[in-house]
Structure 1
Amino acid sequence: MTAPKTPLLDTVDMPADLRKLDKSQLRQLADELRDEMISAVGSTGGHLGSGLGVVELTTAIHYVFNTPDDRLIWDVGHQAYPHKILTGRRDRIRTLRQGGGLSGFTKRTESEYDPFGAAHSSTSISAALGFAVANKLNDTPGKGIAVIGDGAMSAGMAYEAMNNAEQAGNRLVVILNDNDMSIAPPVGGLSAYLARMVSSSEYLGLRSLASKLVKKMSRRVHNSLGKAEEFTRGMVTGGTLFEELGFYYVGPIDGHNLDHLIPVLENVRDAEDGPVLVHVVTKKGKGYAPAEDSADKYHGVPKFDVVTGEKAKSAAGPPAYQNVFGETLAKLADNDPRICAITAAMPSGTGVDKFAAAHPTRAFDVGIAEQHGVTFAAGLAAQGMRPFAAIYSTFLQRAYDQVVHDVAIQNLPVRFAIDRAGLVGADGATHAGSFDITYLASLPNFVVMAAADEAELVHMTYTAAEHDSGPIALRYPRGNGVGVDLPETPILLEIGKGRVVREGSKVALLSLGTRLAEAQKAADQLEAKGLSTTVADLRFAKPLDTDLIARLMRDHEVVVTVEEAAIGGLGAHVLTYASDEGLTDAGLKIRTLRLPDRFQDQDAPDKQYDEAGLNAPQIVETVLKALRHNTAGDDQRVEEARA
């Protein structure tokens, strides 16, 4: 792929270089920055549309503000690719989302220009408020600047932060990147003029003077005049909600017009009253026709041809797990009007789009509001519906209090379809579903299942739909299934019962979830070494199949649990059961294989599994080490007896 010609961008390595340019050169710089980003993402894949929409905004912010002393925080961070190019990382931009390369999100260890790591939505204002107040308390110059948008304002956390923002004074700036026209219509010269006017030092100075005068009047007059000024500006420019939350609202302004953006940001930078919210309207995918025409499909992309926009096609293979779930649930709902589905801004990512196409009145996208989504599901369940809350494992973490308090304690039959359970390759640690078994299987009343393949996912979806006696969760990974045939008719699984897929006598591998295929490969290798191996798919992390586990522990010399989850999951529950029942007293060797006790960076999935020790060779080595330990112990006991 030929790199674009970028003569002006080639002179900019850091924001300090950018600030040496004349304002008249910024349009060319933004155009070259956009071309460079398109070229880079075309060769690596990644988030495209959001970054293209903030090219001018990124240029203007770094031109006007004194980054990194002014702390710039990008909400979610997936829109920060242009920011990375302008902050000393252009030479690595074609390593995005690869092992050892740049993160697809902001990351504190990557650059001083990333003061706060992000990847989950709606945290930017809270973090920027923290930086701003810290500077205020320490009498240190520098502002906290939050850029939030792309749906992130649908989350309550953003408003919780704004409700406390007044204490930061003029050190907090929030830039609302309105890129879907959900808040304001297209804007033109008049609104740009108004934005410049109401953010100007002259206007703010008169406003401050007027405020001081009316404060000396009666409280009633003071409040009335303040409301009148706010109402008048709100009628003309919008933003009354933000004013009520303590912000001085400026906008809306065209986020692609540098002649409009820069004067407003300069006024905001120099304002003595604050905090300020600047409402910027942008177009997702701006400047690249395929992304402009189909913003949803070009939000996140694989490698693509920059000239045609054609995306690299992966080889045809088994269906994606989320599609198996969505299509199965839709079929079940054909005959059960109580089934409904809830997602938190991830309809296609969870397969709820498939359900919604068939049953639109029973599909609910609550936006980036997992807490609300879970309690909403609890209310539906309490009224006799059969709700499925389809939420990524990493995002369900944000609703844990609701899972405990509103679902588990009340023993309500909410069904949790936990997508992206386990490692997620290029998205790295922030999106890995590492902890759901630990945080769900520790709760009373919960049933926790993990699908070994796409056929098992069909059975588990049906089992969850029919389970009315309490909360139940089914977890499944990102990506495609393993290629087994899908059943025409789902089977109702017996709660807490696993299955033996291979019978042996010396080694037992107890798998939970999609590492079952690697456990079977490991069994083949162990059999080749003369070690008779049983492979069991436990299916349930809670309740455990204690009858099966007890039998395998009695009849085998080594038992190894295998799961794609953090410590505290299946292995911990099996060890606790074995300890409670005294099953380790006869010299049985139990080993637990799980995700390492650290956050794993982005990489190719197979490399991540190797690093975690969850591929067949590591399973085999774990068994052999346990057996060598047994042999060494036997030899030592013989020597001691002889002495």
Structure 2
Amino acid sequence: MLLDQINETGDIKKIPQSQYPELAKEIREFLINKISVTGGHLASNLGAVELTMALHAVLDLPKDKIIWDVGHQSYTHKLLTGRKEGFDTLRQYGGMSGFPKRGESDSDSFDTGHSSTSISAGLGMVKARDLKGEDYAVVSVIGDGSLTGGLAYEAMNNLSKLETNYIIILNDNEMSISESVGGMGKYLDSVRTAQGYLNLKEDVYAQLRSNTRVVDSIRRAKNSFKQLFVPGMVFENLGITYLGPVDGHDTAGLIRAIKEARKVKKAVMVHVVTKKGKGYEPAERHPARFHGTEPFIVENGIPRNPRTTANYQDIFSTVMCKLGARDDKVVAITAAMADGTGLKRFRNIYPDRFVDAGIAEEHAVTFAAGLATGGYKPVFAVYSSFLQRAYDQILEDVCLQNLPVVFAIDRAGLVGSDGETHQGIFDLSYLGSMPNMHIMAPKNKWELSDMLKFAVNFDGPTAVRYPRGNAYDGLKEFRAPIEMGKCEPIYEEKDICLLAVGCMVKIGEEVRRILKDKGINCSLVNARFVKPIDTEYIHRAAGSHKLFVTMEENVACGGYGEKVRAYVDENRLDCSVLSIAIPDQFVTHGSVDKLRKELGIDAESIADRILKEVHR
């Protein structure tokens, strides 16, 4: 097999280009087989195989730099840089990351995981290169989806006057290019990027610089012609040379385009058209489902372990549809995650009250604020780690005006295999610092429904944060009405009081059972509200409990535990506080159960810490 010849960076150059189509086929088979076992990002990687091969064939890694926007399409890059064996532990604890990691390979030039960052990072690398007087290529690979993020345009605005080579690859896997436009694009590319043309253009301008009127006339005529015939003029008008579109599955054509792009002494965009899921029929038919997939059966694409119970996203979906039916002021907003967050059904039923803002969380939040001033009830469904991109908008545009915007915070807490960039472990801290914000976390699926209904009818900013995965359906007999700032006592005894936030209530049940087996009295309380905390209950419970144990799946700094401890200290209550939280660190990839154990927030570890505290 050709793939057997690739064991380290640069080995692809030893393979004749005539054999690249066979190599691409082998790479796809390898990725499909490996990801079917481990899970991971499949469709995006299958679409970028030839593009990655072409980049590796032309560039000199690790001297040259590739920045993969988001990074979920970098599997072929990992394969071509000597990490073949790592795919057996892909996204597993202690194994290979599903995203580029500088600590994993010197061919990974920038750690990514979130969208729209690659052009900014690439421009910074170009500046560093030029300041040091060095000579190497910098290439940012960005998808058409990532171009919906404002950061990409901020960066493009900043590079408009660049007078040194910088290549941007636009990996377009959705746009349909007609034959006529494609043919004209290829023809004009061959003319505009041919070395003879570039030399002629510079020679003509050099000869005519003394006659500015003639030069200006030529430039106006040239620009008018390009406006009529050259695709990508929006980029040209930003000062970026546009090449394309190029067939993203024609390795020879891609190699030619990248070589030509390297000759341009300014920012140049190569528009590459690819097919998401290329080479695997289930992924081609359902690219969204195979974007980030669980392990599946290769022959048919069916998940190996299909879900048998509803997850929190299913519950959210059902509740949102009911809220939409009851109140025509409810508007659902997503940042390119309609499927992931569970808003697809709402979109289908109420298309006029559904808005996909694209990968633009900042815009989505301020857009929601504007909706709220118009008397509507916006619900922004967003992953926890993506919401943090809009910190300023939440603070200034929503909280400052005390507007009734609901933040449905999905994937809150540990999310597992996607690792540091996706763990939702900071939202309680950054939202908790904001005046007028109210934060809730449900213990089970029933409470998620109740909290969403409460939030939609509350006159102020609210956040409901819930985890990824199967929705807990235990403790359904405990369903007291939601009251602002009030907790929910579940089991009340004395001595030790477990104050658990959201998904930690289920773990709290296990902790309580362990302690009860050892003859220790223990109360279990569902905190419900992280802001405001139920100070009345804490004050009252301090009379019968010597130890409060706060439990949250959030970093310790700025979390629920700090708030409880501060209240106990300020009021000099006769009890101590043990805060169980995630250490103030980034958390690697791995299964949620494994990560909880490693972080000391699983039931057994928590019980051990409590026992040590009690017997001190």
**Residue 384 of structure 1: aligned partner:** 375
Q: Please give the secondary structure, in 1, of the residue aligned with 2:320.
A: helix
1:568-626 per-residue CA deviation (whole Å, 9 max, x = no partner) reads: 1100111111121111xx3x221100111211111111111111221111221121111
* 1:126 has 2:120 as partner: yes
**Residue 527 of structure 2: aligned partner:** 538
Letter in 2 for 1:239: G
**Residue 158 of structure 1: aligned partner:** 152
- Among candidates 335, 340, 351, match of residue 326 of structure 2: 335
1:542-567 per-residue CA deviation (whole Å, 9 max, x = no partner) reads: 11111111122221111110001112
CA separation of 1:167 and 1:130: change in aligned 2, threshold 3 A: farther
* 1:262 has 2:255 as partner: yes
**Residue 168 of structure 2: aligned partner:** 174
Distance 1:14 1:224 in 2: 53
* 1:560 has 2:560 as partner: no
Letter in 1 for 2:560: L
1:325, CA displacement in angstroms? 1.2
Distance 2:362 2:98 in 1: 26
Letter in 2 for 1:570: Y
1:21, CA displacement in angstroms? 2.8
Distance 1:223 1:493 in 2: 69
- Among candidates 576, 582, 587, match of residue 595 of structure 1: 582
Distance 1:516 1:267 in 2: 59
Distance 2:264 2:333 in 1: 45
- Among candidates 263, 280, 287, match of residue 288 of structure 1: 280
1:94-131 per-residue CA deviation (whole Å, 9 max, x = no partner) reads: 21111111111111111111110111001011111111
**Residue 413 of structure 2: aligned partner:** 422
**Residue 302 of structure 2: aligned partner:** 310
Q: Please give the secondary structure, in 1, of the residue aligned with 2:284.
A: helix
Q: Please give the secondary structure, in 1, of the residue aligned with 2:141.
A: strand
Contact 2:182/2:245 (CA < 8 Å) preserved in 1? no
1:11, CA displacement in angstroms? 0.9
Contact 2:446/2:473 (CA < 8 Å) preserved in 1? no
- Among candidates 513, 518, 522, match of residue 511 of structure 2: 522
* 1:36 has 2:27 as partner: no
1:27, CA displacement in angstroms? 2.0
1:297-347 per-residue CA deviation (whole Å, 9 max, x = no partner) reads: 221211122233333133512x11012112102102211111111000001
Letter in 2 for 1:293: R
* 1:325 has 2:316 as partner: yes
Contact 1:129/1:168 (CA < 8 Å) preserved in 2? no
Contact 1:459/1:491 (CA < 8 Å) preserved in 2? no
**Residue 8 of structure 2: aligned partner:** 14
Contact 1:378/1:414 (CA < 8 Å) preserved in 2? yes
**Residue 566 of structure 2: aligned partner:** 576
**Residue 455 of structure 1: aligned partner:** 446
Deviates more, 1:260-269 or 1:506-515: 260-269
Q: Please give the secondary structure, in 1, of the residue aligned with 2:115.
A: coil
Q: Please give the secondary structure, in 2, of the residue aligned with 1:60.
A: helix
Letter in 2 for 1:246: G
Counterparts of residues 222-233 of structure 1 (less than 5 Å): 222-233=215-226
Distance 2:207 2:403 in 1: 57
**Residue 604 of structure 1: aligned partner:** 591
Q: Please give the secondary structure, in 1, of the residue aligned with 2:609.
A: helix
Distance 1:189 1:357 in 2: 37
* 1:250 has 2:243 as partner: yes
**Residue 71 of structure 2: aligned partner:** 77
Distance 1:108 1:138 in 2: 21
**Residue 139 of structure 1: aligned partner:** 133
CA separation of 1:314 and 1:272: change in aligned 2, threshold 3 A: closer
**Residue 66 of structure 1: aligned partner:** 60
Distance 1:421 1:512 in 2: 12
- Among candidates 426, 429, 439, match of residue 435 of structure 1: 426
* 1:24 has 2:14 as partner: no
CA RMSD of aligned residues (A): 1.8
Letter in 1 for 2:284: E
1:188, CA displacement in angstroms? 5.2
Contact 2:235/2:242 (CA < 8 Å) preserved in 1? yes
Contact 2:296/2:304 (CA < 8 Å) preserved in 1? yes
1:274, CA displacement in angstroms? 1.5
Q: How many residues align?
A: 613
Contact 1:196/1:263 (CA < 8 Å) preserved in 2? no
Q: Please give the secondary structure, in 2, of the residue aligned with 1:309.
A: coil
Distance 1:246 1:215 in 2: 20
**Residue 400 of structure 1: aligned partner:** 391
CA separation of 1:485 and 1:610: change in aligned 2, threshold 3 A: closer
* 1:616 has 2:603 as partner: yes
Contact 2:41/2:290 (CA < 8 Å) preserved in 1? yes
Give TM-score scaled by structure 2 length.
0.96
Letter in 1 for 2:129: N
**Residue 481 of structure 1: aligned partner:** 471
**Residue 638 of structure 1: aligned partner:** none
1:13, CA displacement in angstroms? 2.0
Letter in 1 for 2:539: A
1:486, CA displacement in angstroms? 7.5
- Among candidates 276, 280, 295, match of residue 268 of structure 2: 276
Distance 2:612 2:220 in 1: 74
1:32, CA displacement in angstroms? 1.6
Q: Please give the secondary structure, in 1, of the residue aligned with 2:155.
A: helix
- Among candidates 495, 500, 511, match of residue 511 of structure 1: 500
1:281, CA displacement in angstroms? 0.6
CA separation of 1:284 and 1:214: change in aligned 2, threshold 3 A: farther
Q: Please give the secondary structure, in 2, of the residue aligned with 1:291.
A: helix
**Residue 437 of structure 2: aligned partner:** 446
Q: Please give the secondary structure, in 2, of the residue aligned with 1:120.
A: coil
Distance 1:626 1:491 in 2: 32
CA separation of 1:223 and 1:343: change in aligned 2, threshold 3 A: farther
Letter in 1 for 2:597: D
Contact 2:34/2:88 (CA < 8 Å) preserved in 1? yes
Contact 2:10/2:81 (CA < 8 Å) preserved in 1? no
Give TM-score scaled by structure 1 length.
0.92
Q: Please give the secondary structure, in 1, of the residue aligned with 2:129.
A: helix
1:66, CA displacement in angstroms? 1.3
1:17-58 per-residue CA deviation (whole Å, 9 max, x = no partner) reads: 212333222222222222211222122111111111111110
CA separation of 1:381 and 1:17: change in aligned 2, threshold 3 A: same
1:499-539 per-residue CA deviation (whole Å, 9 max, x = no partner) reads: 11001111110111111011111111111111111111110
CA separation of 1:213 and 1:414: change in aligned 2, threshold 3 A: farther
Distance 2:458 2:600 in 1: 35
1:207, CA displacement in angstroms? 2.3
Letter in 2 for 1:181: M
- Seq. identity, %: 43
Distance 1:556 1:346 in 2: 44
CA separation of 1:223 and 1:156: change in aligned 2, threshold 3 A: farther
1:213, CA displacement in angstroms? 4.0
**Residue 54 of structure 1: aligned partner:** 48
